Amino acid sequence: MSGIDDTRTFTPINIAVLTVSDTRTRADDTSGDVLQSRIEAAGHSVPAREILRDDIPAIQAQLKSWIADPNIDAVISTGGTGLTGRDVTPEAVTPLFDKVIDGFAFAFHRKSMENVGLSTMQSRACAGLADTTFIFCLPGSNGAVKDGWEVIGSQLDSRHRPCNFVELMPRLAEK
């Protein structure tokens, strides 16, 4: 049976939040706020949060810094996954992946379809593993962030059964 097993111990992790937007500031980054509040409500911490313009080198530099930081277990970005000319998050992030988490896009679009229907096709949400850091890229709307956290949150909960990402963390560096 799938779900939370309350007999298991919860293990909090550190999740960095990155908003990719040419227009948002900390004062009006509502999707970043929603994401941070959901992460913290789930019992995890947000040790780092940044807002960057839609700029591939800047996004990659920030992500490389977080990937190298042993205190960051996962990164969740919001924004820049659409189809416009300025949307570059997947182009910036996917070259950093050692492994793609293909099932994330499927799960995200399935959940998103409940709320926005076929418009979910306009998102290029993606996820992968870079060294030992999980990276998830969500669209920039509050609704997409809520849908994305519903998908991601269970896998970042060490009590989720039959399996979860947290229990894999000690083995991610295996060669």
Neighbours of 22 (CB within 10 A): 11
Q: Is the pTM of this model over 0.85?
A: yes
Average pLDDT, the chain: 96
Cα 75 to Cα 135: distance, rounded to the nearest angstrom: 5
Low-confidence ranges of the chain (pLDDT < 70): 1
- What integer pLDDT is reported at residue 106 of this predicted model? 96
Q: Domains plus CATH for the chain?
A: 10-169 (3.40.980.10)
**Looking at residue 127, what is its pLDDT?**
98
Residue whose C-alpha is closest to residue 60's, from 22, 19, 95, 101: 95
Structure confidence at residue 123 (pLDDT): 93
Q: Using one digit for the tens of pLDDT, what is the confidence trace for 40-51?
A: 999 999 999 999
* Cα Rg, the chain, nearest whole Å: 15
